[in-house]
């Protein structure tokens, strides 16, 4: 496959810390010309941080960074682009209102006499769109394209700036099977042309198909490298997790009790055409798997009353609820630890105490007067039981690590003693230690009879934690899998739109 010569890009012992977190504890990585290197690791392992450093989004604290044997330190994305390194973002950055040519040359428009030289721009854009196999007219408006094609435009944009290294951060997370195949074709093509790719993914199957070499990160450190035949599922997981799966997810099987949540024929505003039904019993941990954009988050938000259902019924413990805002849901005993923790879960500039007590303030208040004693009690209980690592209860939530922030979110809900706890990507951006604590907590709460419903994009998490899982695809529930039916293959099968074969 790719010719392996002296490394085009090399980093050694790179360190980076953020307030409260040591994100990179000295990682190394090398990339040859025309090589596809897969970078894998759990969330919080430091992949994204490293990518941002490589692409000039943020500087490293210390360590060596060389491009073609020459030491560099990027101060901006432009510095990185000058050295031929381009990052294809997880969230696409195209201007939806502009056409393809304008997007490809955004900020670098060819000019003549101070005006945009349209013909040249179009001609050049054509060249690069062809390179990624896009045969659409350059006048097409970018916003009208499906995500997969937009991504190809992004790649064309990077190539047009003479990129020699493409960094792709979870490029397939929102692509269909077919789009994924197209993308793979393009990546393989580029490799032939001597362009290197750093490919970040959670999908181990893709990594096996695409990568020449695999570098695994764990907890901000190198966990090991794999090449050629060594690249297989078991080796990768072992390096990522650091131990066997069964050990990490310490899951007992519980007796499930009566039905707590019953969702019947509910239509969410995001996918008004499809209706969803599911149920969760007390003491049960139910997972919802599926690709990003399959409507999982929207379903939880509808159950929580954020975006009221268009049709159908939702019952909690047999009681029919009109859920039109979170207040009603909370009153009925529902809690949600949302996916977007910083936006929806916390009030970042406020303290641990103020965040933890926010939902219970009213319950504990005396005719509107704050009840300091009750507030302190709620906070102390949460800090203790969640093992929130904070210097004081007055610490501003922004300055805590992702794991501790998530614990605050859980702590504030547990003070409300919910019957149903919903978690949306409960361990995203959280280090391994905190992750384990959160799994243990889920386990403990289920043991105490709480019903738990969680959404996860991490295959291992669903496999390890769920008693039962629903798999969603494009707004519908594609299938339901019991614990003994759960496997990576069965989930991916349903998640990509094939009906369960069994």
Residues that bind another protein (CB under 8 A): 17-20, 304, 306, 325-327, 329-331, 336, 338, 343-350, 354, 358-359, 361-362, 365, 368-370, 396, 399, 412
The least distance separating another protein from the CB of residue 191, rounded to whole angstroms, comes to 40
Distance CA 288, CA 270 (A): 17
- Token pair of 308, please? 């009221």
CB atoms within 10 A of CB 302: 25
| C-alpha distances in Å from residue 377, one per residue of 348, 354, 384, 412, 426 | 21, 12, 10, 12, 25
In terms of DSSP bridges, do strands 111-112 and 115-116 run parallel, antiparallel, or are they unpaired?
antiparallel
Of 158 and 434, the one with the shorter C-beta distance to another protein is 434
- We find the least distance from the C-beta atom of residue 273 to another protein, in angstroms, to be 26
**Residues paired with 321 in a beta bridge:** 314
Task: Rank residues 205 and 269 by Cβ distance to another protein and give the closer one.
Answer: 269
Closest contact distance (angstroms) between CB of 341 and another protein is 9
Report DSSP letters for 241-266, one per residue: HSS-HHHHS-PPP----SEEEEEEEE
Minimum separation from the CB atom of position 218 to another protein (A): 21
| Residue number with CB closer to another protein (204 or 421) | 421
* Residue 416 CB, nearest approach to another protein (Å): 8
Check if the beta carbon of residue 357 is closer than 8 Å to that of residue 338: no
Report, in Å, the least distance between residue 344 CB and another protein.
5
Nearest one of 161, 164, 3 to 68, comparing CA atoms: 164
Least Å distance between CB 302 and another protein?
13
Q: How far is the CB of 368 from another protein (least distance, A)?
A: 5
Residue closest to 139 by CA, chosen among 82, 187, 99: 99
**Residue number, 147 or 358, with CB nearest to another protein:** 358
Nearer to another protein, 222 or 404 (CB): 404
Three-state secondary structure along 386-431? HCCCCCCCCCEHHHCCHHHHHHHHHHHHHCCCCCEEEEECCCCCCC
DSSP assignment of 70-85 equals: EE---SSHHHHHHTTE
Task: Round to whole Å and give the CA distance between 9 and 11.
Answer: 7
For the stretch 255-284, what's the b/e string if a residue is b when 16 or more beta carbons lie within 10 angstroms of its beta carbon? ebeebbbbbeebbbebbeebbbebbbbbbb
Beta carbon nearer to another protein, 31 or 388: 388
Residue among 375 and 467 whose Cβ is closer to another protein: 375
86 or 430: whose CB is closer to another protein? 430
């Amino acid at each position: 496959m790719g010719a392996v010569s002296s490394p085009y890009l090399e980093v050694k012992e790179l360190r980076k810390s953020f307030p409260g977190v040591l994100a990179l504890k000295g990682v190394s990585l090398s990339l040859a010309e025309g090589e596809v290197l897969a970078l894998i690791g759990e969330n919080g392992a430091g992949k994204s941080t490293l990518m941002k450093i490589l692409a000039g989004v943020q500087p490293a604290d210390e360590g060596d960074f060389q491009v073609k044997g020459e030491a560099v330190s990027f101060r901006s994305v432009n510095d990185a682009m000058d050295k031929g390194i381009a990052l294809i973002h997880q969230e696409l950055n195209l201007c939806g209102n502009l056409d393809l040519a304008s997007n490809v040359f955004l900020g670098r428009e060819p000019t003549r006499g101070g005006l945009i030289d349209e013909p040249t721009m179009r001609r050049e854009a054509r060249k690069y769109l062809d390179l990624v196999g896009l045969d659409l007219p350059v006048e097409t408006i970018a916003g009208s394209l499906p995500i997969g094609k937009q991504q190809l435009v992004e790649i064309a944009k990077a190539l047009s700036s003479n990129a020699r290294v493409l960094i792709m951060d979870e490029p397939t997370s929102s692509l269909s099977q077919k789009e994924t195949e197209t993308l793979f074709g393009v990546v393989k093509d580029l490799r032939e042309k001597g362009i290197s790719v750093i490919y970040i993914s959670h999908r181990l199957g893709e990594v096996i198909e695409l990568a020449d070499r695999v570098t695994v990160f764990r907890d901000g450190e190198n966990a090991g490298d794999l090449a050629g035949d060594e690249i297989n599922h078991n080796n990768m997981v072992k390096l990522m997790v650091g131990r066997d799966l069964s050990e990490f997810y310490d899951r007992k099987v519980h007796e499930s009790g009566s039905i707590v949540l019953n969702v019947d024929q509910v239509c969410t505003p995001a996918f008004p055409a499809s209706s969803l039904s599911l149920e969760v019993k007390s003491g049960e941990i139910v997972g919802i798997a599926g690709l990003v954009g399959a409507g999982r988050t929207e379903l939880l938000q509808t159950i929580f009353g954020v975006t009221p259902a268009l049709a159908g019924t939702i019952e909690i413990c047999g009681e029919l609820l009109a859920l039109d805002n979170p207040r009603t849901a909370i009153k009925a005993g529902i809690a949600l630890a949302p996916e977007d923790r910083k936006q929806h879960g916390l009030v970042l500039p406020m303290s641990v105490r103020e965040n933890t007590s926010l939902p219970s303030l009213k319950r504990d208040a005396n005719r509107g007067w704050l009840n300091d004693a009750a507030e302190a009690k709620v906070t102390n209980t949460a800090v203790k039981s969640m093992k929130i690592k904070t210097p004081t209860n007055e610490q501003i939530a922004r300055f805590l690590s992702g794991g501790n922030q998530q614990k605050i979110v859980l702590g504030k809900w547990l003070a409300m003693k919910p019957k149903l706890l919903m978690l949306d990507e409960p361990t995203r951006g959280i280090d391994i230690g905190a992750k384990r604590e959160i799994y243990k907590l889920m386990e403990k709460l289920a043991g105490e009879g709480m019903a738990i419903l969680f959404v996860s994009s991490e295959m291992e998490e669903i496999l390890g934690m769920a008693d039962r899982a629903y798999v969603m695809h494009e707004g519908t529930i594609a299938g339901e899998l019991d614990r003994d039916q759960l496997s990576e293959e069965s989930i991916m099968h349903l998640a990509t739109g094939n009906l369960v074969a069994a």
